[in-house]
C-alpha cells in the first residue's frame, strides 16, 4: 500500500508540473475560447500533449489510471490558466471512467487505437431508443454537452420505447460523435469556452454492445470487485462531483493569487492608502476570504481521499458517506463563490474590466457552481437528511 501511495503522489506531482508547463498555452487561448465558445485548437493540443485527459483512462489502453485526488489536483491547477479547459478535462476524464461499464468490445472501439480518446457524457434523458435488429435506433437532443465539439465519443442517456411508444426503462448508449449533429446552443455568461452545445441524434443506429442499462451505468456494484483496479471500483458519480467542485476551488485559488499579487501596487480610492497592503481592513478581509477558499479545498480533499481509500480497500462506501460528499462539494463551491464576491470588492472596480481576469474568474466560478451536481441547497438537504435516515432526494449518489 505504501508503494502504491508513493507512486500516486509522484504521478500527481508530475501531472501538476505538466499543467504548469503547458499552462501559458491554455492562458493564451482564453480570449479565443470566450469568443468562439469552444476551446482553441492550441488548447486542445496542449490537453493531448500533456495527457491530462488520460488521468482516468485504463492503463491497459495507455491511460494513467490515477485516483480521484490526482485528478482533483490537476483540475485545480488547470483552473489557474483556463477554467473552461479545466472543466472540459474534468468531463473527459469523468466520461472515460463511466465508459468502463461498457463491454470490452465497446471500450476497444473507443481506446484501442486511440489512448487519448476524448469523450463527453450527458446524463439528462432527452432522447429515445427503439430496439431494432442488432441494436437500437437513437433519436433526440441532449443539451449541455461539455466539450462535445472536441469529443470522439459521447455517452448519452435515453428512454427505451417499445413498438407502441411505451417507456420500458433507461439506457446508456455510447455513440461516436461523428454520428451526431452538434447544434450551437451554448450562449452563456461564464464557462463559455467549454462549448457545451447540444448533441442531436436522428435515426442513429447503435449496436447492442454499445448499450447498457442506465441503472448499471450509475450503479456501484463494482465497489468490492477485487479483479478490477482501484480506479474502476470508485464511486463514479461521487468522484465526478468532487472533480467538478475541484475546478471551482482552483478558480478561487487563482483569483486569490491575483488579488495578492496586485495588492502592493494598488491604492484604495478615495482613501489616502498608497497601497492596499497598508490597510488593516483590506488585510483582515483578505485573511478571512483566504481561509474560506482554504476551507473549500479541505472539503474537496476530504471527499477525494474518502473515495480513494474505499477504492483501494475494495470497500463499498455507505450512503451516509456519499451523502456527506454531496454536502462537501456543494459547500465547497458555495464558499468559493462567496469568497469571490469579497475578492471583487477587495480588488476594486478594476475587477470588472474586460481585460481583468477577475471578472472571468467570477463569471466562470458562478456558472460552474450552478451545475446540478454542485447545488449547495441540495447538498445541505442530502447531508442533513443522512442524520435521520430520510429518503434520498437524489436517486444516484
HEC assignment per residue over 137-165 = EEEEEEEEECCHHHCCEEEEEEEEECCCC
Residues of the chain with CATH 1.10.540.10: 2-114
pLDDT of residue 363: 98
337-365 pLDDT per residue, tens: 999 999 999 999 999 999 999 999 999 99
Residue 195, all three cell numbers: 462549448
pLDDT band at 281 (very low <50, low <70, confident <90, very high): very high
CA distances from 391 to 84, 238, 259, 376 (A): 35, 18, 43, 18
Contact 253, 75 (CB under 8 A): no
pLDDT at 1: 41
Question: Rounded CA gap, 71 and 367, in Å?
Answer: 21
Across the range 26-35, mean pLDDT stands at: 97
Tell me, what's the pLDDT at 25? 98
pLDDT above 90 for 4: no
Which pLDDT does position 397 carry in this prediction? 81
Average pLDDT over residues 224-238: 97
Residue with cell 474560506: 292
CATH 2.40.110.10 domain span(s) along the chain: 119-213
pLDDT of residue 269 exceeding 60, the answer is yes
pTM of the predicted model, to two decimals? 0.95
CATH class of 230-386: mainly alpha
CATH 1.20.140.10 spans which residues of the chain?
A: 230-386
Q: Cα separation of 377 and 387, whole Å?
A: 16
144 and 180 Cβ atoms separated by less than 8 Å: no
Distance CA(250)–CA(77), nearest Å, equals 6
- Is 38 in a helix, a strand, or coil? coil
Q: How many residues does the chain have?
A: 397
State how far Cα 131 lies from the chain centre. 32
- Provide the grid cell at 42: 492550441
pLDDT at 258 exceeding the cut of 60: yes
Tell me what the mean pLDDT of segment 302-317 comes to: 98
Q: State the average pLDDT for the chain.
A: 95
DSSP state of 248: H
Could you tell me which CATH number the domain at 2-114 has?
A: 1.10.540.10
Least trusted range by pLDDT, from 44-53, 119-128, 174-183, 232-241: 119-128
Residue 2 predicted with pLDDT over 70 = no
- Distance from C-alpha of 210 to C-alpha of 103, rounded to nearest angstrom: 7
- Model confidence at 271: pLDDT above 50: yes
Tell me if 123 sits within 8 A of 170, measured CB to CB: no
Cα separation of 127 and 175, whole Å? 13
CATH number of 119-213: 2.40.170.20, 3.30.470.30, 2.40.110.10, 3.40.50.300?
Answer: 2.40.110.10
* pLDDT classification of 277: cutoffs 50, 70, 90: very high
pLDDT in tens, 94-127: 999 999 999 999 999 999 999 999 999 998 767 9
What's the pLDDT at 5? Answer: 58
Amino acid at each position: 500500500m505504501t508503494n502504491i501511495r508513493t507512486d500516486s503522489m509522484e504521478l500527481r506531482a508530475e501531472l501538476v508540473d505538466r499543467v504548469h508547463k503547458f499552462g501559458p498555452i491554455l492562458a493564451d487561448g482564453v480570449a479565443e475560447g470566450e469568443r468562439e465558445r469552444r476551446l482553441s485548437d492550441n488548447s486542445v493540443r496542449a490537453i493531448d500533449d500533456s495527457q491530462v485527459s488520460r488521468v482516468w483512462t485504463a492503463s491497459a489502453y495507455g491511460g494513467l489510471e490515477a485516483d480521484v485526488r490526482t485528478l482533483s489536483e490537476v483540475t485545480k491547477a488547470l483552473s489557474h490558466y483556463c477554467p473552461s479547459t479545466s472543466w472540459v478535462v474534468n468531463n473527459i476524464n469523468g466520461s472515460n471512467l463511466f465508459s468502463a461499464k461498457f463491454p470490452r468490445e465497446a471500450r476497444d472501439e473507443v481506446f484501442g487505437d486511440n489512448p487519448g480518446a476524448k469523450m463527453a457524457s450527458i446524463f439528462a434523458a432527452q432522447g429515445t431508443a427503439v430496439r431494432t435488429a442488432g441494436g437500437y435506433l437513437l433519436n433526440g437532443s441532449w443539451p449541455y454537452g461539455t466539450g462535445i465539439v472536441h469529443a470522439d465519443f459521447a455517452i448519452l442517456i435515453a428512454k427505451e420505447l417499445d413498438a407502441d411508444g411505451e417507456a420500458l426503462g433507461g439506457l446508456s448508449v455510447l455513440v461516436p460523435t461523428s454520428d451526431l449533429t452538434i447544434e450551437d446552443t451554448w450562449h452563456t455568461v461564464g464557462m463559455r469556452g467549454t462549448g457545451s452545445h447540444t448533441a442531436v441524434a436522428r435515426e442513429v443506429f447503435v449496436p447492442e454492445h454499445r448499450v447498457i442499462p442506465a441503472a448499471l451505468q450509475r450503479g456501484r456494484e463494482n465497489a468490492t470487485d477485487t479483479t478490477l483496479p482501484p480506479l474502476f471500483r470508485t464511486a463514479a458519480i461521487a468522484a465526478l462531483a468532487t472533480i467538478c467542485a475541484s475546478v471551482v476551488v482552483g478558480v478561487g485559488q487563482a483569483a486569490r493569487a491575483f488579488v495578492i499579487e496586485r495588492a502592493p501596487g494598488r491604492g484604495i480610492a478615495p482613501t489616502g492608502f498608497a497601497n492596499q497592503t497598508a490597510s488593516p481592513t483590506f488585510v483582515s478581509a483578505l485573511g478571512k476570504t483566504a481561509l474560506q477558499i482554504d476551507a473549500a479545498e479541505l472539503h474537496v480533499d476530504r471527499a477525494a481521499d474518502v473515495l480513494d481509500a474505499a477504492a483501494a480497500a475494495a470497500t463499498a462506501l455507505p450512503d451516509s458517506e456519499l451523502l456527506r460528499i454531496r454536502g462537501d462539494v456543494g459547500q465547497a463551491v458555495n464558499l468559493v463563490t462567496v469568497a469571490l464576491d469579497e475578492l471583487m470588492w477587495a480588488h476594486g472596480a478594476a475587477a470588472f474590466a474586460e481585460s481583468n481576469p477577475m471578472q472571468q474568474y467570477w463569471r466562470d466560478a458562478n456558472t460552474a457552481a450552478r451545475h446540478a451536481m454542485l447545488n449547495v441547497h441540495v447538498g445541505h438537504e442530502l447531508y442533513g437528511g443522512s442524520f435521520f435516515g430520510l429518503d434520498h432526494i437524489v436517486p444516484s449518489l
